[in-house]
């Protein structure tokens, strides 16, 4: 029986995901179909649906794996450092075809920092320095910084990651060092 815990099922899962990543290098996500994935992988549709509910589910599972890989890479680092942001960007560049698709369809899911970490370690210290005392204002700043980061990241990925990771790290206004030196909102 081909269940999620057996080796054959896991091998097929890897094969299907590899096929999707290969297709993303050549084809916009909007043009990829379950039929195309199955044709390229050499499997039937029932095999695909034994693994995923649809293509978005497949992307979500790939994203989960990549997030775990990134977490392991960053585990020993200070997440609020320029070095960790640079490693994050290197990871995005390495998988840029995947992130291009995700940033088009689910941009909110691509985060360098989770909302709580950003709020506690970046937004609140920034607000204290600037004299911002209201929770609503801090919430708006959090949304502003997250959206700004996401859109810059999306533009970088859409352009083929032309600039280097260090160059991009210097651009992001909420890198802790940059925020510490900011005088105006």
CA torsion sign for 124, 127, 131, 133 is negative
Q: Higher-confidence residue: 185 or 141?
A: 141
Whether the pLDDT of residue 170 is over 90: the answer is: no
Furthest C-alpha separation in the chain: 63
Q: How far apart are CA 29 and CA 85, in angstroms?
A: 26
| Position 181 pLDDT exceeds 70 | no
- The string of pLDDT tens digits covering residues 118-150 is 888 778 888 888 888 889 998 998 888 888 888
Tell me phi and psi for residue 44, to 5 degrees. -95, 165
Question: What percent of the chain is modeled with pLDDT above 90?
Answer: 28
CA 51 to chain centre: 22
- Judge if pTM exceeds 0.85: no
Cα–Cα distance list, 138 to 46, 117, 150, 171 (Å): 48, 13, 18, 22
Segment 31-85, tens digit of pLDDT: 999 999 999 999 999 999 999 999 999 988 998 888 888 888 877 777 777 888 8
Q: Report helix, strand or coil for 38.
A: helix
């Amino acid at each position: 029986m081909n269940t999620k815990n057996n080796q054959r099922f896991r091998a097929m899962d890897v094969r299907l995901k590899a096929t999707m990543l290969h297709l993303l290098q050549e084809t916009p996500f909007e043009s990829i179909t379950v039929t195309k994935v199955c044709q390229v992988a050499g499997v039937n549709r029932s095999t695909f649906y034994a693994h995923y509910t649809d293509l978005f589910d497949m992307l979500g599972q790939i994203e989960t794996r990549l997030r775990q890989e990134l977490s392991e890479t960053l585990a020993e680092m200070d997440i609020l450092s320029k070095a960790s942001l640079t490693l994050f960007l290197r990871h995005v560049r390495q998988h840029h075809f995947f992130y291009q698709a995700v940033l088009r369809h689910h941009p909110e899911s691509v985060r360098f920092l989770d909302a709580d970490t950003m709020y506690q370690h970046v937004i609140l210290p920034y607000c204290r320095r600037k004299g911002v005392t209201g929770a609503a204002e801090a919430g708006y700043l959090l949304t502003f910084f997250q959206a700004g980061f996401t859109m810059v990241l999306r533009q970088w990925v859409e352009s083929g990651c032309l600039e280097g990771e260090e160059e991009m790290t210097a651009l992001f206004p909420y890198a802790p060092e940059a925020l510490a030196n900011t005088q105006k909102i």
